[in-house]
């Protein structure tokens, strides 16, 4: 049976190829463990000079099975855990997934992630820590968690809060998808490659060529980034760290972009949006990525047992009626004390720690 992560060596490169095509390579705990084990084994191996993270191509060549880099984490596990064991299995998944995220962020050897296709949630978590991040014409990057009662975790607080022009707050709340050109424009990708150059780039890295040099030589110039046309609107409306103020700002603007954004936010969990804004604001004051991950672990373990998560997954993934009944139902009903409780420290023995 083919493993869900293909771990192999090719010359000077250690390669991690995600291989759950029918689930768009969504991460499971065994996949997280396999990637972590490989990275730990390679970090002191002088024969490995770089690490490539990509997705395997479906053996039958079906393009529908090769449409994503990684669609996220194991939502079925998280929902089952919330309903059956009080979130214990979900917290265990987060603990190890966040350790993988941190290991990639601090890895001494160059890591390159080929975000060729859908890159969401957990896929962002294993690509954004990489020193080199390659976008393509098929890239669709998003953090859509507020639509299922969660928040942009896996380091989202760190990456999104540090984007210019409050773009991160916009992405966190709306779950908007960015294409490859937009990822390059925003700084979420370091390079843009045409499909025809991907195999050559990987071969050159495996041959021992500098990752940066290989990608620089093969880089293409994408078309315009559509999101750039709305940069001023985003910066103006998402300047607030308060959800009610953000909604009010959008409501005062009769423009089509503001009204479409307001309509999108009406479908998102108000509590999740409020958590996300506080998460990003808090992250900016943290000393390092480990502190960010400890914060997100506190949030994550609590968010999966709130009613909005089970309801969001029901509405979007299970019943697919796209009519979630959020609790609380509006920004005005989000209680500050309940919000603060989501971020409160855990007992010392339960806190997240890096490897």
* 134 and 115 Cβ atoms separated by less than 8 Å: yes
The one catalytic residue in 4, 54, 97, 153 is: 153
Domain spans, the chain? 5-350
Please give the pLDDT value at position 170.
Answer: 98
Cα diameter, the chain: 59
- Among 75, 83, 72, residue whose Cα is nearest residue 307: 83
The one catalytic residue in 74, 145, 182, 296 is: 145
Q: For residue range 215-227, list pLDDT tens digits in order.
A: 999 999 999 999 9
Please give the pLDDT value at position 19.
Answer: 95
Please give the pLDDT value at position 276.
Answer: 98
Three-class SS state of 198: helix
Q: Check if 145 is active-site.
A: yes
Quote the percentage of the chain above a pLDDT of 70: 98
What is the residue whose two structure tokens read 């064991």? Answer: 85
| In the predicted structure, residue 146 carries a pLDDT above the cut 80 | yes
Three-class SS state of 321: coil
Q: Check if 208 is active-site.
A: no
Q: Check if 84 is active-site.
A: no
Backbone angles phi, psi at 51, to 5 degrees: -120, 135
Please give the pLDDT value at position 344.
Answer: 98
Q: For residue range 248-276, list pLDDT tens digits in order.
A: 999 999 999 999 999 999 999 999 999 99
* 317 and 75 Cβ atoms separated by less than 8 Å: yes
Please give the pLDDT value at position 60.
Answer: 67
Mean pLDDT score across all residues of the chain: 96
Q: For residue range 21-72, list pLDDT tens digits in order.
A: 989 999 999 999 999 999 999 999 999 999 999 999 876 667 776 789 999 9
Three-class SS state of 107: coil
- Among 169, 170, 185, 255, residue whose Cα is nearest residue 226: 185
User: Tokens standing for 44?
Assistant: 């002191």
Residue 66 backbone zone (phi > 0: left; psi -120 to 50: alpha; other: beta): alpha
Question: Rounded to the nearest 5 degrees, what angle is found at the Cα of 302, between the Cα atoms of 298 and 304?
Answer: 125
Q: How far is CA 172 from CA 83, 179, 281, in A?
A: 26, 16, 12
The one catalytic residue in 73, 90, 149, 155 is: 73
Please give the pLDDT value at position 61.
Answer: 66
Q: Alpha helices of the chain — where are they, by DSSP H?
A: 29-42, 75-84, 88-106, 122-127, 156-161, 167-174, 180-186, 195-206, 211-218, 231-237, 243-251, 256-265, 270-283, 289-303, 307-313, 336-343
According to CATH, the superfamily of the domain at 5-350 is 2-enoyl-CoA Hydratase; Chain A, domain 1 (3.90.226.10)
Q: Check if 156 is active-site.
A: no
The one catalytic residue in 72, 122, 165, 312 is: 122
Q: How far apart are CA 313 and CA 311, in angstroms?
A: 6
Please give the pLDDT value at position 348.
Answer: 97
Lowest-confidence region among 21-30, 56-65, 166-175, 324-333? 56-65
Query: Order of strands, edge to edge, in the sheet holding 13-18?
Result: 5-10, 13-18, 50-55, 111-115, 132-135, 191-192
């Amino acid at each position: 049976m083919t493993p869900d992560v293909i771990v192999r060596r090719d010359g000077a490169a250690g390669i991690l190829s995600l291989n759950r095509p029918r689930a768009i390579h969504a991460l499971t705990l065994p996949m997280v463990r396999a990637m972590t084990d490989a990275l730990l084994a390679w970090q002191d191996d002088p024969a490995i000079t770089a690490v490539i993270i990509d997705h395997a191509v479906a053996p039958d060549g079906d393009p529908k099975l090769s449409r994503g880099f990684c669609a996220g984490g194991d939502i079925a596990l998280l929902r089952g855990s919330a309903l059956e064991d009080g979130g214990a299995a979900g917290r265990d998944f987060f603990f190890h997934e966040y350790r993988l995220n941190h290991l990639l962020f601090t890895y001494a050897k160059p890591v390159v992630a080929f975000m060729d296709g859908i890159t969401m949630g957990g896929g962002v978590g294993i690509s954004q820590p990489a020193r080199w991040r390659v976008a393509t014409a098929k890239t669709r990057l998003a953090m859509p968690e507020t639509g299922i009662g969660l928040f942009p975790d896996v380091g989202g607080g760190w990456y999104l809060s540090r984007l210019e022009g409050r773009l991160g707050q916009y992405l966190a709340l709306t779950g908007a998808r960015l294409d490859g050109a937009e990822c390059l424009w925003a700084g979420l990708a370091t390079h843009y490659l045409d499909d025809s150059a991907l195999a050559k780039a990987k071969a050159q890295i495996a041959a021992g060529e500098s990752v940066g040099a290989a990608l620089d030589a093969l880089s293409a110039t994408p078309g315009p980034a559509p999101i750039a046309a709305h940069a001023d609107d985003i910066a103006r409306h998402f300047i607030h760290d308060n959800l009610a103020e953000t909604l009010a700002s959008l409501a005062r603007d009769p423009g089509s972009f503001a009204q479409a954004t307001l309509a999108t936010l009406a479908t998102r969990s108000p509590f999740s949006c409020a958590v996300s804004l506080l998460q990003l604001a808090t992250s900016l004051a943290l000393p390092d990525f480990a502190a960010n991950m400890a914060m997100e672990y506190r949030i994550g373990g609590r968010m999966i047992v709130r009613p909005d998560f089970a309801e969001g997954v029901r509405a979007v993934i299970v019943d697919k009626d796209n009519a979630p009944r959020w609790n609380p139902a509006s920004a005005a009903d989000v209680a500050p004390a309940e919000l603060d409780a989501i971020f409160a420290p855990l007992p010392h023995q339960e806190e997240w720690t890096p490897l």
